[in-house]
Structure formats: C-alpha cells, structure tokens
Chain A
Amino acid sequence: DAMVIQNPRYQVTQFGKPVTLSCSQTLNHNVMYWYQQKSSQAPKLLFHYYDKDFNNEADTPDNFQSRRPNTSFCFLDIRSPGLGDAAMYLCATSRAPGQVNEKLFFGSGTQLSVL
C-alpha cells in the first residue's frame, strides 16, 4: 500500500544535541509537510516543500531545518533541541497545493522527547 512512513516512532535526545527525523512516501506526491503537535494543541505547520521549493512558515524557529534530497524523502533537523521542542512531529504529503479538495496524507508521527 502506498503510504507515508516516519522513522523512528519514538526519539529521545538530549538538550542541545542535534536530532534528525525522517519521512518517506510512496505516493509520489509533490508536496511534503512537517507539522509539530504538542499535547492538546493543534498541529502547527513548520514548513513544506513543493517539489524542491522550500516554504518556511514565518514563525518557525531557526532551530528547525528541513531537507528534501529527492521526491520520496524529507528530513526534519532540529539543530539544538530545547525542552520546549518535545512534541509529536507529523509528516504529511499532498499531490499539489492550491487545488480545491486537496487533502493531506499523514504518517504516524515521531514522538520526540528531550532530556
């Protein structure tokens, strides 16, 4: 089945130690998104790639970076994780933005803990 896969399912890192979360997709979708969801909060869009074009949200901290080496893979890099970065990180894909009824396909998420 075509899907969005996130690894690892749980990630523990130390305060200030760089960490990378990965996402892959077999849907061949053009757009890949990273959302951050803290407990009882709405998923918050950090950034997205439309093909190779990177689109950062205005309020995404510089501490968060992303790479998309090819259509299938997208990475979220947290350069110096703080305690406030502990959250669920959700990767999602869509065929293309800007189309009526376009919808997102989500991975299962990576739960990040910062010690």
Chain B
Amino acid sequence: DQQVKQNSPSLSVQEGRISILNCDYTNSMFDYFLWYKKYPAEGPTFLISISSIKDKNEDGRFTVFLNKSAKHLSLHIVPSQPGDSAVYFCAAYRDDKIIFGKGTRLHILP
C-alpha cells in the first residue's frame, strides 16, 4: 500500500517556466516531508523539506507547499533551468523512517 504517491511519472516544462511536481500521501501522522533530486548514475540528493506544522517553505528557486487537509504537497521550481532535469522523489518521515514515492522525471525543454 503506497503511503506516498507521485501520480505523474514524467513532466516536461519549457526552460524559464514554472515546474510543479505533485505528491499525495495517505498517512496524516507524517512529521515532515522532503523532496530529493536524482540524476542518472547518482544517488538521490536532498533538495528541500517542510515540517507538517508549516504550509510553505522556500529556498531560492524551490518552494514546497503543504496542504494538510488535502494530504497534498507540491514542489515549485521557478524559473526552471536545464540542470533541473532529473527524477524528483517526494518523501515523508515518521517513526524513524523515510518513505519515498515512485518519483517524477522532469524534463526541461530548451
């Protein structure tokens, strides 16, 4: 049973535009949420996180929004750059574990 769901396997966005990656979760007890970015042949790297008590966290071009009532979070990247092309994993933390979604492959088009 997937507790963290990323329903879009891939997303293509024009360079300079906004990329929005979505994530849904089923467990309302998650303490905080994270986004990881993965390039081919590399391990995932931490991108940004948000505590369950907040609804927004911003770090440069990256902003994560959390809607607890909808059990939904999203990652906004603006403006999108070619180096943002990667797989993005949404993850959630509870009970000493980080649970990942399947990932969304983001393609930034020239």
Contact = CB atoms under 8 A, between A and B. Distances in A.
Nearest to A94: B98
A108 B42 contact: yes
A2 interface: no
Contacts of A105: 46
Interface in A62-78: none
A27 interface: no
Interface residues of A, number: 26
Contact of B45 (A50, A98, A100, A106): A106
Interface residues of B, number: 25
Contacts, number: 56
Contacts of A42: 2, 4, 89, 99-103
Q: Is the interface of B mostly helix, strand, loop or mixed?
A: strand
A114 interface: no
Interface in B38-61: 41-46, 49, 51
A4 B43 contact: yes
B102 A41 contact: yes
A45 B97 contact: yes
Contacts of B44: 43, 90, 104, 106
Nearest to A105: B46
A44 B102 CA distance: 10
A67 B3 CA distance: 28
Interface of B: 2, 4, 9, 31-32, 34, 36, 41-46, 49, 51, 89, 93, 96-103
